[in-house]
């Protein structure tokens, strides 16, 4: 839908979306479902989805991106690290991550960790993840 001038109301769930993800030592083993994204849905201004980290070891390695990001923990518990500061997060917790802040997330519990995330950009593809050792 690139080039759309107007957005439309969209209702989306993970059952209607394809699982994407990484299983890579430098990036982690996170998976996600892109719910709203201008190149997939008639939406603009924001992109959002659900990220999942597997029990006991799921991880999104430290990284940065230009855009700020919001996390909302929908299910589970884990450790969110932002610019070196670790915080335990659990269902009902929200976090604002400033643009270019280094952050990572790990699931150290025996249950699935599900995070709703939002970026202030039309397309998820506009978010360039920069991991150490990949040119950061």
Task: Report d(CA 47, CA 117) in Å as an integer.
Answer: 8
Whole-number Cα distances in Å, 129 to 81, 94, 100, 104 = 16, 21, 10, 12
The distance from CA 19 to its chain's CA centroid, rounded to whole angstroms, is 13
Which residues are paired to 70 by β-bridges? Answer: 96, 118
Question: Phi then psi for 61, rounded to 5 degrees?
Answer: -65, 160
Task: Report d(CA 87, CA 135) in Å as an integer.
Answer: 27
The domain ranges of the chain are 16-124
Full strand arrangement of the beta sheet holding 103-106: 59-63, 103-106, 77-82, 85-90
Contact 47, 122 (CB under 8 A): yes
pLDDT string in tens for the chain (136-residue length): 455 458 999 999 999 999 999 999 999 999 999 999 999 999 999 999 999 999 989 999 999 999 999 999 999 999 999 999 999 999 999 999 999 999 999 999 999 999 999 999 999 999 999 999 886 5
pTM of the model: 0.92
Domain at 16-124: CATH code? 2.60.120.10
């Amino acid at each position: 839908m690139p080039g759309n001038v107007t957005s439309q109301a969209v209702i989306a769930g993970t059952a209607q979306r394809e699982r994407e993800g990484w299983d890579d030592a430098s990036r982690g083993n996170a998976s996600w479902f892109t719910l709203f994204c201008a190149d997939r849905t008639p939406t603009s201004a924001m992109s959002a989805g659900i990220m999942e980290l597997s029990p006991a070891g799921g991880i999104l390695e430290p990284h940065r991106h230009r855009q700020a990001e919001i996390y909302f923990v929908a299910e589970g518990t884990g450790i969110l690290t932002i610019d070196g500061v670790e915080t335990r997060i659990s269902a009902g917790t929200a976090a604002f991550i400033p643009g270019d802040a280094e952050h990572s997330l790990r699931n150290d519990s025996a249950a699935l960790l599900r995070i709703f995330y939002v970026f202030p950009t039309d397309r998820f593809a506009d978010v360039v993840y920069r991991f150490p050792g990949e040119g950061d």
